[in-house]
């Protein structure tokens, strides 16, 4: 589950709340983000310390740049071409959307694939209509987001779900998801498609079993009961492991925990931002107006929410490095570094390169950004991003940052540590992530975070800054980790948030850094803090 190197899978998610479908596919809701104040298009919304908005197009930048948001949340490449229509299918043929969703769910549950990447893989390999693509996406996310609740329901319709053939179990879960979490799919369509899908994977002998279980559930033959304890019921209904739900309730209070657990994002698109060495905000707005995508200004400077984007990897402007996909919280995190021209910067856990690129762009090709990762394939992602964005001041390196490097002592003006973490702040984007977290894995991650922080503390020059961040909402990884660091390193002090960043999240928690919560503060949970080395 968590990547103990540098985490940050990327992707931006398909719709997760109440989905409306007819039995031909999906009729995706097109909702602009509620609660986000619209900004005048083209307004210069740069952060203090960012690059002046010049007119000269220049370099290129990598995907998922969190510079004010680093991960290509949905760095899933798409193009502005509408999906091609598919020929009418035979009456006995399997729904292509359900077949693709089935494969994506299998990939996530049994091959440790990231949800968004598994969905993208299926969408890129099939020639589905827009409605079928939307149904595939929503069915995959809906099933994985509600896995524990779905299994609880199924437990009333069979003796032991764990003894069921894994592929059949997946088909049954998808059937419950369509009935319980999606609207306007007729019961007959749900049952018939489940049987067809079972037959299509060579399990003819189990079609009767599948048909019986699904139709019994559709008729409501059994009374499903839920725990009487309010917190236990809240956890189970929202498919959050109970020990994690208790931890959130203890730290944030039950009302806030409920707001987080019941929140479903209204937008499953992606966040785009311009390459600041090539385009001003106004120029990027004009570029977006030429696309067939639906775009609206984001909450943070330079960000735009985009939906209807398909095959981004084939988009000419994307390939030319004109823009990147990057989550807003990641962008804020990179902006918190307040890098300036000529600085020496270390990004310790950099792949896939969102924040790296954002900082390099703010420095306008000057200085150096050393971008580390412990895995070669992730370093390759960094290198590809640097080439696409033409960022000559970035130096990707294969290195395990838990190993102290003596010749880096007091070498850097700024060190950014977006540490390996549980990633629990991104469970809407990566719905399967919560099922693999254990108390043992949390303790191991915390020890890794501690080692990384202690190493980075020695790399910062006197008077320099260390920015610590995670995409987690667990206090052990955030405030508690930071307080323990300050006790070990009295030469460091916590700095207040810059006013422009604080203004973006007026209600966010900031007892010890900035803690964003999914739901109350937007779609992502994220923690970040800026520390100054005083001596």
Query: Residue 415 forms beta bridges with which residues?
Result: 346, 466
DSSP string, 398-433: E--TTS--GGGTT-EEEEEEE-----GGGTTTSGGG
Q: Per-residue pLDDT for the chain (535 aa), expressed as one digit of tens each?
A: 444 444 443 333 333 333 333 333 333 333 333 333 344 343 444 554 443 333 333 333 333 333 333 333 333 333 344 444 445 556 668 999 999 999 999 999 999 888 988 998 898 888 888 889 889 999 999 999 999 999 999 999 998 999 999 999 999 999 999 999 998 899 999 999 999 999 999 999 999 999 999 999 999 999 999 999 999 999 999 999 999 999 999 999 999 999 999 998 776 678 999 999 999 999 999 999 999 999 999 999 999 999 888 778 889 999 999 999 999 999 999 999 999 999 999 999 999 999 999 999 999 999 999 999 999 999 999 999 999 999 999 999 999 999 999 999 999 999 999 999 999 999 888 898 999 899 999 999 999 999 999 999 999 999 999 999 999 999 999 999 999 999 999 999 999 999 999 999 998 988 889 999 998 888 889 999 999 999 7
List the structure tokens of 261.
């657990």
Alpha helix (H) ranges present in 275-392? 281-289, 316-319, 328-336, 354-362, 376-389
Q: How far apart are CA 469 and CA 476, in angstroms?
A: 13
Nearest to 433 by CA among 84, 116, 181: 116
* CA-to-CA dists, residue 15 to 264, 267, 304, 309, angstroms: 8, 6, 18, 14
pTM: 0.81
Sign of CA dihedral 214, 219, 221, 227: positive
DSSP 50: S
Q: Which domains does the chain carry?
A: 54-74+270-533 (3.40.50.150), 80-219 (1.10.940.10), 230-262 (no CATH)
Nearest to 313 by CA among 528, 78, 30, 33: 78
Q: How far is CA 497 from the centre of its chain?
A: 24
DSSP 464: E
Judge contact between 322 and 277, C-beta under 8 A.
Answer: no
């Amino acid at each position: 589950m968590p990547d103990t190197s540098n985490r940050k899978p990327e992707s931006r998610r398909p719709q997760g709340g109440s989905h409306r479908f007819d039995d031909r596919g999906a009729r995706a809701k097109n909702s602009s983000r509620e609660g986000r104040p619209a900004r005048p298009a083209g307004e210069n919304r740069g952060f203090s310390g960012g690059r002046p908005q010049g007119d000269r197009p220049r370099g290129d930048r990598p995907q998922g740049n969190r510079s004010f948001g680093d991960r290509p949340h949905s760095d899933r490449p798409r193009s502005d071409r509408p999906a091609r229509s598919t020929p009418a299918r035979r009456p006995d043929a399997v729904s292509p959307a359900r077949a693709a969703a089935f494969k994506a769910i299998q990939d996530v549950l049994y091959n440790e694939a990231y949800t968004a990447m598994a969905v993208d893989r299926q969408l890129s390999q099939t020639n589905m209509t827009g409605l079928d693509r939307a149904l595939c996406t929503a069915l995959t996310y809906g099933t994985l987001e509600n896995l524990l609740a779905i299994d609880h329901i199924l437990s009333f319709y069979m003796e032991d779900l764990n003894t069921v053939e894994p592929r059949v179990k997946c088909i049954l879960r998808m059937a419950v998801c369509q009935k319980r979490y999606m609207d306007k799919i007729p019961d007959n369509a749900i049952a018939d498609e489940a049987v067809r899908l079972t037959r299509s994977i060579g399990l003819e002998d189990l079609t009767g079993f599948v048909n019986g279980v699904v139709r019994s559930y559709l008729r409501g033959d059994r009374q499903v009961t839920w725990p009487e304890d309010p917190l236990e019921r809240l956890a189970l209904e929202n498919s959050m492991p109970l020990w994690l739900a208790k931890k959130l309730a203890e730290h944030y209070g039950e009302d806030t925990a409920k707001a987080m657990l019941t929140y479903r994002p209204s937008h499953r698109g992606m966040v785009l931002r311009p390459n600041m060495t090539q385009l001003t905000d106004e120029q990027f707005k004009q570029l977006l107006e030429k696309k067939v995508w639906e775009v609206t200004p984001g909450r943070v400077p330079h960000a735009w929410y985009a939906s209807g984007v398909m095959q981004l990897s084939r988009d000419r402007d994307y390939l030319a490095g004109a823009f990147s996909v990057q989550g807003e919280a990641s962008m804020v995190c990179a902006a918190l570094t307040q890098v300036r021209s000529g600085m020496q910067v270390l990004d310790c856990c950099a792949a896939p390169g969102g924040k790296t690129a954002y900082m390099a762009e703010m420095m306008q090709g000057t200085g150096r950004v050393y971008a580390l990762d412990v895995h070669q394939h992730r370093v390759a992602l960094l290198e590809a991003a640097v080439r696409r964005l033409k960022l000559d001041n970035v130096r990707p390196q294969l290195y395990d940052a838990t190993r102290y490097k003596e010749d880096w002592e007091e070498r850097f003006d700024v060190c950014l540590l977006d540490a390996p973490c549980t990633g629990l702040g991104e469970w809407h984007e990566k719905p399967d992530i919560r099922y693999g977290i254990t108390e043992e894995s949390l303790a191991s991650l915390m020890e890794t975070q501690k080692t990384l922080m202690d190493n980075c503390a020695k790399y910062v020059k006197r008077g320099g800054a260390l920015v610590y961040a995670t995409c987690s909402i667990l206090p052990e990884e955030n405030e508690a980790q930071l307080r323990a660091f300050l006790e070990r390193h009295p030469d460091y002090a916590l700095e207040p948030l810059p006013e422009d960043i604080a203004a973006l999240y007026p209600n966010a928690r900031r007892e010890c850094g900035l803690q964003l919560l999914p739901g109350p503060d937007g779609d992502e949970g994220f923690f970040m803090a800026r520390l100054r080395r005083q001596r």
